[in-house]
Structure 1
Amino acid sequence: MGRAPGLSVRLKFTLSYAGFLVLAGALALVAVGVFLLRQGWLQTNEEGAWKSNPVIDFVRDFAPTAAAVMVFLLVFGLLGGWVLAGRMLGPLARITNATRTAATGSLSHRIRMPGRQDEFRELADAFDAMLARLEAHVAEQQRFAANASHELRTPLAISKSLLDVARTDPSYDTGEVLDRLQAVNTRAIDLTEALLLLSRADRRSFTREQVDLSLLAEEATETLLPLAERNGVTIETRGDITPASGSPALLLQLTMNLVHNAIVHNLPGQGRVWVITGVHSGAVMLTVENTGEILPPHLVSTLTEPFQRGTERIHAHQAGVGLGLAIVTAITRAHDGTLTLTPRDTGGLRITVALPARTSPQS
């Protein structure tokens, strides 16, 4: 935004300081002059004679001294104000330089203002924290874009190879090509829809409604029950009415992802999944726990990253697109909640979603 040139803040501080000092000095001199003038009038009246005019004596004797004092105060105020303003505004100059550096795209720079806590240092610390968050966010977005491009390129490359083989080899089974193309295309569509859902959750472009997480848990369990039966996994759902506020569609997707993740990454033929809802300590809780292989903590900490599947937990025929828990994280964050992943001592994973509690509507 274009602005007309104006006085610098340092010059304004200097003029304000000097003006205040001169005004204070002038008031002090006036007070002294009035006092001396009054004393002269009293002395004249007590002597009963008008030896001379007190006002003329005051002007002749006191006015030159007062004028010299005013000039000194003006010069001292300007010089002292300029120095003091420079020292006071020094931290602001560092913040301004850091802002200009960040505007060029360099987010690694930090102010790191030394000294005791005050308003400027509080501003500098807040600015450093903002830069750290921006740098982490940009790095995450760049990593996500690179991973998404790689994931989308894979099915496209496979499709191209299949088409090339079918075109150059007339004896190749066309039905097999079509089946493989359909599978690859389905995977690409699933990945695209997952990316769109992830973007929608990050933008928070949804209308909040009252929703019961216990009903969503039951719906997700019923929908995924055939998958659980095929994998030999038993699902147990329990919990009271759990009122929350948010998008029913997104919260259902969150629950579906968690239950699907618990079914797929489980013990084959003898796995168990527990889906529990409730309100604890002023928060709405959804916990999905499953049996499975023993997971190291360093692997668990990476599972919410996009496309981080954890190869120890992947089945070749159920690999998914690698965005299940990333979508859960985005939806949880969009609903101002927290997501906690904890490896079970006996194997498997416990995932807890905590959302701000909302009072259920009165019937």
Structure 2
Amino acid sequence: MARARGLSVRLKLTLSYAGLVILVGGLLLAVVWVFLLRYVPESAARTPGPFSPGRDDLIRAFAPKAVWALVGLVVVGLLGGWFLSGRMLAPLTRLTDATRRAASGSLSHRVNLSGRQDEFRELADSFDTMLARLEAHVAEQRRFAANASHELRTPLSISQTLLDVAHRDADRDTEELLERLRTVNTRAIDLTEALLVLSRADSGSFTREPVDLSLLAEEAIETLLPLAERHGVAIQSSGDTTPALGSPALLLQLTTNLLHNAIIHNVREHGTVTVSTTRGDGLGILSVENTGERLTPQHIAILTEPFQRGTERIRTDDAGVGLGLAIVKSITLAHDGTLTLTPVDGGGLRATVELPAEQH
């Protein structure tokens, strides 16, 4: 919005400093003036002698000097005020420069204001923290866009290849071709639906209502039990009624993703998954733990980024689309909860989700 340009803050401060100096100086001169009028009586003017000045003589001698003193105060006030205001506003100038760079797309610039802790230093540090978070968020979004484009292009490329082969080979078995196209198309649909769920969770556009995490865990276990049996994974569950507040559909998606991830990324034989729900201090807590490979803290730190699959980007029929934990993180944050991933001694991963059980 266009606005008329006004006086600069530095000029306003300069005029304020100068005005204060002139006011104090004027009051001091006024005090001296009153002192002369009070303590130099009129009769002193009639006192004989060359060294006995009267009131009029003192006033005539004082008035010009008072005027010059006021002029000097004006000059000193303006020059001193301009200098002091410049020194005071120097950090604000640096902040303005950093803001303009950020507005032009340069998020790597930092104010890095030195000196002792004061209001300007706190503002500069807060601004640097905001820029760092924005830079990390933008970088994450760029990686996500690149990965999403790659993942979406893959099934389309496969479909195009299959259609080209079928076009060149008229005698090819159409049933086999249709089955492969159906598999590729299903994967593309799953990826698209996962992206929609992720977008919905990030936007926070859902209605919150009381839910029982233990019931959601039972439903997810029942749904994924055939998958666990195919992978030779035993599922153990425990927990009483665990209230939480949120979207039943999104929280069911969260629970299903955690359980699916625990089943897929497990040991090859005799693996286990433990699902538990407990109550905390105003919280509903869901924990999913599995057996599996040893994970380093560095690797765990990137598991919630989109399109990260276990220790390697290996794709199997049940491996999902690489958005499982990313969706879990987004849903958790959208519900004002916390997601904690910790390695299990001996191998495996423990995922703990804490969700508010009451409206704040």
- Does the alignment reach a TM-score above 0.5? yes
Partner of 2:258: 258
Partner of 1:174: 174
Contact 1:25 1:73 in 2 (8 A): yes
Distance 2:70 2:311 in 1: 82
Contact 1:212 1:243 in 2 (8 A): yes
Partner of 2:152: 152
Distance 1:317 1:227 in 2: 11
Unaligned stretches of 5+ residues in structure 1: none
Contact 1:210 1:245 in 2 (8 A): yes
Q: Secondary structure at the match of 1:22?
A: helix
Partner of 1:286: 286
Once the two structures are superposed, residues 155-201 of structure 1 have per-residue CA deviations (whole angstroms, 9 ceiling, x without a partner) of 00000000111111011111111000000000000001101111111
Q: Secondary structure at the match of 1:6?
A: coil
Partner of 1:2: 2
Contact 1:265 1:313 in 2 (8 A): no
Distance 2:83 2:126 in 1: 27
Q: Secondary structure at the match of 1:317?
A: coil
The answer to whether the aligner puts 1:20 opposite 2:17 as a matched pair is: no
Shift of 1:56: 3.7
Against the structure 1 CA distance between its residues 359 and 76, is the aligned structure 2 distance closer, same or farther, given a 3 Å change threshold?
A: closer
One-letter amino acid of the structure 1 residue matched with residue 96 of structure 2? T
TM-score, with normalisation over the residues of structure 2?
0.92
One-letter amino acid of the structure 2 residue matched with residue 288 of structure 1? V
Partner of 1:63: 63
Partner of 1:209: 209
Structure 1 stretch displaced more, 255-264 or 150-159: 255-264
One-letter amino acid of the structure 1 residue matched with residue 70 of structure 2? M
Partner of 2:333: 333
Structure 1 stretch displaced more, 83-92 or 201-210: 201-210
Q: Secondary structure at the match of 2:284?
A: strand
Shift of 1:247: 1.7
Against the structure 1 CA distance between its residues 105 and 312, is the aligned structure 2 distance closer, same or farther, given a 3 Å change threshold?
A: closer
Shift of 1:268: 4.1
TM-score, with normalisation over the residues of structure 1?
0.91
* Identity level (%): 68
Distance 2:241 2:215 in 1: 8
Equivalent residue pairs, number:
357
Taking only aligned residues, the RMSD between alpha carbons, in angstroms, comes to: 2.4
Q: Describe how 1:39-58 pairs up with structure 2 within 5 A.
A: 39-41=39-41, 44=43, 56-57=56-57
The answer to whether the aligner puts 1:351 opposite 2:326 as a matched pair is: no
Structure 1 stretch displaced more, 234-243 or 188-197: 234-243
Against the structure 1 CA distance between its residues 132 and 359, is the aligned structure 2 distance closer, same or farther, given a 3 Å change threshold?
A: closer
Once the two structures are superposed, residues 57-108 of structure 1 have per-residue CA deviations (whole angstroms, 9 ceiling, x without a partner) of 4531322221111111111000000000111111111111111111111111
Shift of 1:224: 1.9
Distance 1:329 1:95 in 2: 33
Distance 1:338 1:287 in 2: 12
Against the structure 1 CA distance between its residues 149 and 38, is the aligned structure 2 distance closer, same or farther, given a 3 Å change threshold?
A: same
Shift of 1:212: 2.1
| Moved >6 Å (runs of 4+) | 47-55
Distance 1:214 1:352 in 2: 14
Q: Secondary structure at the match of 1:62?
A: helix
Partner of 1:31: 31
Shift of 1:352: 0.8
One-letter amino acid of the structure 2 residue matched with residue 39 of structure 1? Y
Contact 1:37 1:54 in 2 (8 A): no
Contact 1:233 1:272 in 2 (8 A): yes
One-letter amino acid of the structure 1 residue matched with residue 30 of structure 2? V
Once the two structures are superposed, residues 12-37 of structure 1 have per-residue CA deviations (whole angstroms, 9 ceiling, x without a partner) of 11011001110111112112211221
Partner of 1:230: 230
Against the structure 1 CA distance between its residues 59 and 190, is the aligned structure 2 distance closer, same or farther, given a 3 Å change threshold?
A: same
Once the two structures are superposed, residues 98-138 of structure 1 have per-residue CA deviations (whole angstroms, 9 ceiling, x without a partner) of 11111111111111111111111111111111111111111
One-letter amino acid of the structure 2 residue matched with residue 337 of structure 1? G
Shift of 1:299: 2.8
Contact 1:243 1:359 in 2 (8 A): no
Distance 2:189 2:291 in 1: 30
Once the two structures are superposed, residues 278-298 of structure 1 have per-residue CA deviations (whole angstroms, 9 ceiling, x without a partner) of 123554321001122333443
Shift of 1:314: 5.2
Shift of 1:345: 1.6
Contact 2:290 2:348 in 1 (8 A): yes
